[in-house]
Amino acid sequence: MENETYRCHICGKKGVKLWRPYGDSEPFICATCAEKRQIKMTYCKRVWSKNPDGTFDGINTFKWFPLPPWSINDEGLVPSFDGPGPDGENKPSTEKLIIFIEREISSKHHGKTELLPAIPHKNGGVWTYAATPEEDLKWWRNLPTR
């Protein structure tokens, strides 16, 4: 699957994980270019209560706090934009990135944009993230992040 077209639209890097805007197949964006364009985000602090079955419910306090800047780990994950979980930690858990794309980069996707993994489909385009077969997901996770 690694070919000439699997490259970052912004810096041209090849052979690394790429992301693309939610609901579209272009432009492809690499981790380094995405990290540089991250938006300062806030999260609503939750108070957690444990259910009898061991799960937790989070009650919103409507007190907002800044999220620290993220960087993408080796598996292509960043900490949740919802903030810390019941244990008070916010471990890398989502492939979704939220960034700001300049108008010069994409006339269709600019401003605040949600990115998902760009996993090429053999018939062209990309897999819908939820429908990606396990082996294709594995291929993407095994690509170097940078």
CA distances from 39 to 3, 30, 134 (A): 30, 16, 30
Compare residues 10 and 67 and give the one whose CB is closer to Zn ion: 10
Is residue 10 at the binding interface for Zn ion, with CB under 5 A as the rule? yes
Q: How many CB atoms lie within 10 A of CB 125?
A: 13
What is the largest distance, in Å, between two alpha-carbon atoms of the chain? Answer: 53
- Which region among 23-31, 49-57, 59-67, 124-132 touches Zn ion (by CB under 5 A)? 23-31
Q: What is the chain's Cα-based Rg?
A: 17
**Closest among 72, 70, 71, 69 to 17, alpha carbons compared:** 72
Compare residues 9 and 45 and give the one whose CB is closer to Zn ion: 9
Smallest distance, Zn ion to C-beta of residue 104, A: 14
Among 1, 2, 5, 11, binds Zn ion (CB under 5 A): 11
Is residue 8 at the binding interface for Zn ion, with CB under 5 A as the rule? yes
Is residue 33 at the binding interface for Zn ion, with CB under 5 A as the rule? yes
Compare residues 46 and 109 and give the one whose CB is closer to Zn ion: 109
CA distances from 101 to 9, 36, 62, 98, 113 (A): 12, 10, 29, 10, 7
- Which region among 13-21, 59-67, 120-128, 130-138 touches Zn ion (by CB under 5 A)? 13-21
Six-digit token pair at 71? Answer: 């960087």
Number of amino acids touching Zn ion (CB under 5 A): 6
Among 30, 77, 78, 98, binds Zn ion (CB under 5 A): 30
Residues making contact with Zn ion (CB under 5 A): 8, 10-11, 13, 30, 33
